[in-house]
Structure 1
């Protein structure tokens, strides 16, 4: 198990839920800290390796595809940053992060989409809609 690994939980209230390892401390009884979305909120919980099953490639989390082009080389997810931003800023980050990485999507198209959201955010601020 390593930081950034996608896993399925096999115990407790989150049985069957998918998550991502965000910390791993060798030598602990429960070494893997996993961020799990339970349909209402995001929870960070510690698990034993035996309570988790690694998931490879694209996975579905609550019916939503979690593709590799939204993952960072360090194992993070664009959504982890975007959820703390305004709608326009979050979408701009999403399109910047995936530009040139999503199969079938044009790199310039994604950059133009990011530009569109940035311009919209600038306009929102100029109009005083904070």
Structure 2
């Protein structure tokens, strides 16, 4: 397993475009989105991922629009599930 600093952030991986692009850890917290999203559903995880990375990829508006789309799908999913159980 790789080295982690006091915030549980990998410090031994060089940036590369496949497994560790620079925008993965550009957030001021240094946290990778995967550290949070792995504990969420796919749709919620993608909302978080796109919002966290949006300012750092050069496609901020597009990424926020993607986050909104995933959020809309999650809202629809939850609303549908609530209708079934009501």
**Does the Cα contact within 8 Å between 1:22 and 1:34 map onto a contact in 2?**
yes
Deviation, 1:55, is: 4.4
The alpha-carbon distance between structure 1 residues 21 and 109, as it changes in their structure 2 partners (threshold 3 A), is same
Q: Structure 2 length normalisation: TM-score?
A: 0.74
CA distance in 2, matches of 1:115, 1:83: 19
Structure 2, gaps ≥5 residues long: none
* Alignment: residue pair count: 81
Moved runs in structure 1, 4+ residues, more than 6 A?
Answer: none
Aligned: 1:88 with 2:43: yes
Aligned: 1:115 with 2:68: yes
Deviation, 1:94, is: 0.8
Structure 1, gaps ≥5 residues long: 1-13, 25-32, 36-52
The alpha-carbon distance between structure 1 residues 55 and 65, as it changes in their structure 2 partners (threshold 3 A), is closer
The higher-RCO structure (CA 8 Å, 6+ apart) is 2
Q: How does 1:1-130 map to 2 (within 5 A)?
A: 19-23=2-6, 54-56=12-14, 58-59=15-16, 64-71=18-25, 72-103=27-58, 106-128=59-81
Q: Structure 1 length normalisation: TM-score?
A: 0.52
Structure having the higher strand fraction is 1
**Does the Cα contact within 8 Å between 1:95 and 1:113 map onto a contact in 2?**
yes
**Does the Cα contact within 8 Å between 1:70 and 1:94 map onto a contact in 2?**
no
Structure having the higher helix fraction is 2
CA distance in 2, matches of 1:90, 1:123: 16
